[in-house]
Structure 1
Amino acid sequence: MKNRNKQFMTAAVLGTATLLAGAALAQGTTFLTIGSGSTTGVYFPVATGMAKMINDSGSGIRANARSTGGSVFNMNAMASGELNAAVAQNDVVYYAYTGTGLDAFKGKADKKIRTMAVLYPEVLHVLARKDAGINSVADLKGKKVVIGDLGSGTEQTAAQVMEAYGLKFDDLGQALRVSPSQGISLMQDKRADALFYTVGVGASAIAQIAQTVDVKLVPVAGNQAASLLKKYPFYVRYNIPAKSYKGIDVTVPGVAVQATLVTTTDESEDTIYKAMKAAFGDEKGLKAIHPALGTNFSYAKAVKGLPAPLHPGAVKFFKEQGLSVK
């Protein structure tokens, strides 16, 4: 019995020592969970890459990237404290900050939202099977169309673009609210004629469809694009370069919103400054994370088209880069 009690006491002491050691290791460490999006999109590898840069910096910040449902989920998760930072479409961030636009945010303006940096254009891809007879957004009438997850940024973008062409979701043969990975399967199985996806050029989901299905990119151009940009100023024109995907041999005119890294006032100036310095201080390393960053990111662009005020930690970082920000 004495031996057994001695074993219990030894185990208890060891357990306490382990806890104390763990607490000591944790002292001075700040944890940052970054919301991204589907693993088949661009948000996830970008957030993962930035988290690695933060972790490798020795700044005392430990970051991890979490795959999520995308922009709308991320904004709600930051409001509830589930996420500390997130990548999201600048239009969705604006809606959350102002309490407008989307039902998820109407009347619930979140003034705690702060911008860290604008990252890259998120291009609306309207992808159609070549055998579906779709040459214009107007041709989507009566078709089976993947419009994105329920409440996602893609769904909102799809509604706004279709509106410019005089269409509503009710005009579709079937509005399919599914994830990008499910959308791929539906396109491959001929259960969907077209797919909306707001994502950086080169996204693996679009590349995967193009590798397995004969597809075309449907343009968003002309008077319809002009009216869209006039009504929703967070859009910009963007031409998807030829050869971006298999079988797409011509440049296709389109529109884009912008992927933006955001956080809240709950995070201290010191935390965000250290995270910014780690992830953005090495601009070459940041741009190497993904082609969407490599061809588009710059410090000057990172502070343009902000959907919410810059976080003080971001202000401090960008001032060090010689930019006039506040």
Structure 2
Amino acid sequence: MASRRNALAFLAAAGLLAPLASRSRAQGMRFFRIGTGATGGSYYPIGALIAAAISAPPGSRSCDLGGPCGVPGLIASAVATPGSVANVMAIQNGRLESGFVQGDITAQAYRGLGAWTGRTVPGLRAIANLYPETVHLIARRDAGIHELADLRGKRVSLDEPGSGTLADAEMILAAVGMAPGMLQLRNLSLGPATQAMTAGDLDAFFFVGGHPADTIVELASRTAIEVVPIEGATTARIIAEYPFFTTTVLPVDTYAGQELPVPTLSVGAQWLTSAQQPEDLIHDLTVALWNPATAALLQTGPRRGRSIQRATALDGISIPLHPGAARYYKENNMLP
């Protein structure tokens, strides 16, 4: 009870609660966590915005009176995690109610493919596809890395265990015949990787996420970097083996010093939950996600958040929708 009183006191001080305590008691309070990624990536700030959008703390004014347009009585929060793989495992084990997961990791985990062989996660359910995530291969400009083959013998970070970036980097390198022993491997998350590169202790790193990534923007402002292309026959080999990848291009000047468009790969970022979550709750979350007020809120955040559109909510979904989400899409004529 003390934690509940403290939470309500905080929300009241923040001006989020109406003065009617009776509404608070009537509505109750529920908590809902969204596993994101490292704080320096794109998942975390977008997760924080979505958490704010779907929340409507006990005692809040109604949406039509200027209050939050989320789920009544719900307090959602974004939780920093290592990334997609860790989020799948946390959803499976009940440590998180939901999480953001790359589309390729989603497919593999649900079907028991790739790194998930022998440990399927059949209880995964989708809420929505959010936006495409871009594979970044960032190198120090003086490291002499201009294509994947140039990584041989270099100090390269594939990201930390549990991240979708690590899983994707391993798949990409395997598809081009680059064995782990050919590299001086590191397992650093995005922030520590950029710090190591600035210090001259790292030659290159992979990152999979929305662009521009703020942490890489900051890196490029103080260190000369090269955005390494993944293209041509290399791309064809990778997609032939891993068809959930698609081609994309990082536009000119995505990062300082990038004078040309850079071809690379992308995968979808998806919001997943467990089949055990209540249907009504996930339905109401989906309603809140696609409320016009949420779209307006997302316009204030990272550029990737601005590309989250209801029209692409079902793109690339390769696992069953949660029944609550499916009910929303049927109600809105997006599903038969």
Q: TM-score, normalised by structure 1?
A: 0.88
Give 1:250's aligned amino acid: L
For residues 141-167 of structure 1, give each alpha carbon's deviation from its aligned partner in whole angstroms, at most 9, with x where no partner exists: 000001110242111111122223321
Give 1:242's aligned amino acid: V
Within-5 A mapping of 1:227-238: 227-238=237-248
1:152 alignment counterpart? 163
CA distance in 2, matches of 1:250, 1:299: 31
Contact in 2 for aligned 1:145/1:194 (Cα 8 Å): yes
Task: Give 1:287 shift.
Answer: 4.1
Within-5 A mapping of 1:240-319: 240-282=250-292, 284-285=295-296, 287-288=298-299, 289-294=301-306, 296-319=307-330
How many residues were matched structurally?
305
For residues 265-309 of structure 1, give each alpha carbon's deviation from its aligned partner in whole angstroms, at most 9, with x where no partner exists: 111111011111112222632541321132x33323220211311
CA distance in 2, matches of 1:220, 1:140: 12
For the aligned residues, what is the CA RMSD?
2.2
Contact in 1 for aligned 2:34/2:96 (Cα 8 Å): yes
CA distance in 2, matches of 1:196, 1:293: 21
Question: Where in structure 2 are there 5+ consecutive unaligned residues?
Answer: 7-20, 56-67
2:196 alignment counterpart? 186
Give 2:212's aligned amino acid: G
Task: Give 1:311 shift.
Answer: 0.9
- Residue from 97, 100, 125 that aligns with 1:87: 100
- Residue from 90, 107, 116 that aligns with 2:118: 107
Contact in 2 for aligned 1:299/1:318 (Cα 8 Å): no
Q: TM-score, normalised by structure 2?
A: 0.85
Partner SS for 1:271: helix
For residues 51-93 of structure 1, give each alpha carbon's deviation from its aligned partner in whole angstroms, at most 9, with x where no partner exists: 1011122522221111111111111111111100101111112
Give 1:285's aligned amino acid: A
1:7 alignment counterpart? none
Identity %, equivalent residues: 33
CA distance in 2, matches of 1:242, 1:25: 54
* Mean Cα deviation higher: 236-245 or 306-315: 306-315
Give 1:315's aligned amino acid: A
Task: Give 1:240 shift.
Answer: 0.5
Partner SS for 1:97: helix
Task: Give 1:106 shift.
Answer: 2.8
2:10 alignment counterpart? none
Give 2:198's aligned amino acid: Q
Contact in 1 for aligned 2:109/2:119 (Cα 8 Å): yes
1:321 alignment counterpart? 332
Partner SS for 2:71: coil
Task: Give 1:231 shift.
Answer: 1.2
Residue 70, structure 1, aligned to residue 83, structure 2: yes
Within-5 A mapping of 1:122-137: 122-137=133-148
CA distance in 2, matches of 1:163, 1:27: 52
For residues 95-145 of structure 1, give each alpha carbon's deviation from its aligned partner in whole angstroms, at most 9, with x where no partner exists: 22122222xx33121211100111111111000111001111100000000
CA distance in 2, matches of 1:41, 1:178: 13
Contact in 1 for aligned 2:53/2:70 (Cα 8 Å): no
Task: Give 1:27 shift.
Answer: 5.0
Task: Give 1:36 shift.
Answer: 0.5
1:143 alignment counterpart? 154
CA distance in 2, matches of 1:209, 1:169: 26
2:51 alignment counterpart? 51
Which is higher, the Rg of structure 1 or of structure 2? Answer: 1
1:206 alignment counterpart? 216
CA distance in 1, matches of 2:175, 2:93: 34
Contact in 1 for aligned 2:84/2:102 (Cα 8 Å): yes
Partner SS for 1:323: coil
Task: Give 1:206 shift.
Answer: 1.3
Give 2:83's aligned amino acid: G
